[in-house]
Amino acid sequence: MKKAESDSRYGIIDSYLKAGAELRFQTLSLREQIARAASLISESYRSGGKLLTFGNGGSAADAQHVAAEFTGRFQIERVPLPAIALTANQSAITAIGNDFGFDEIFARQVRALAKPGDVVMGITTSGKSSNVLNGLRAARRAGAKTIGLCGLSGDMAELSDVLLAVPGTTTSLLQEVHIALGHLLCLLVEEELFGR
């Protein structure tokens, strides 16, 4: 590799990693909301509830990742905790999408599965994905508590008992912080329910 090419690549690497680190530091402004979100999930588990989570694309992968951390384990050996990613059932998603429309793929599953005492977490970097917003609306109607993960823009505030609006607009960086927040929620819930 020529020096000019390596210098250019190193510049891209440095810039991207520094931007991601800076966004994580800026997310410290959400400390109170993060703690409240973890408490909602812990309270739900204590009362026999569950976590339902969903999103589109990379946010769908984040939803599945977070659900897996709760049903498996995060950092300590413990009992499995009930968490369902509504993005994982392809038959349900395609049937609902075909019969009722893409905007209903999460709301219909929430209506089927959510009950008072549950927590429903919607993830969308834009904060504007209509199917995610509809899922949160359905959760509110079901009496579940809601957590919204988004970036700075969006319409999730009125639908979220706790809003984690990461202070950025770059989708890839938001997704990286969203999964960090998912991990942090797992860590806090494990600490609250089981100790170290």
User: Which of these, 136, 140, 170, lies nearest to 153 by C-alpha position?
Assistant: 170
Q: What is the pLDDT, as a whole number, of residue 165?
A: 97
Q: What is the pLDDT, as a whole number, of residue 155?
A: 85
Q: What is the pLDDT, as a whole number, of residue 110?
A: 98
Instruction: Return d(Cα 92, Cα 105) in angstroms, integer.
Output: 8
Q: Torsion angle, CA of 139/57/87/159, rounded to 10 degrees?
A: 0
Centre a 10 Å sphere on the Cβ of residue 113 and count the other Cβ atoms it contains. Answer: 17
143: left (phi over 0), alpha (psi -120 to 50) or beta: left
Q: Quickly state the pLDDT bin for 141 (edges 50, 70, 90).
A: very high
pLDDT digits (tens, 9 = 90+) for 62-71: 999 999 999 9
Q: What is the pLDDT, as a whole number, of residue 7?
A: 76
Structural domains present in the chain: 30-194 (3.40.50.10490)
Q: What is the pLDDT, as a whole number, of residue 1?
A: 62
pLDDT digits (tens, 9 = 90+) for 3-55: 666 678 999 999 999 999 999 999 999 999 999 999 999 999 999 999 999 99
Residue type at position 57: G
Q: What is the pLDDT, as a whole number, of residue 93?
A: 97
Q: What is the DSSP string of 149-194?
A: EE-SS-S-GGG-SEEEE-S---HHHHHHHHHHHHHHHHHHHHHHHH
Q: What is the chain's mean pLDDT, rounded?
A: 95
Q: Check whether 190 has a pLDDT greater than 70.
A: yes
Q: What is residue 103's DSSP assignment?
A: G
Q: Bridge-partner residues for 164, per DSSP?
A: 149
**pTM to 2 decimals?**
0.94
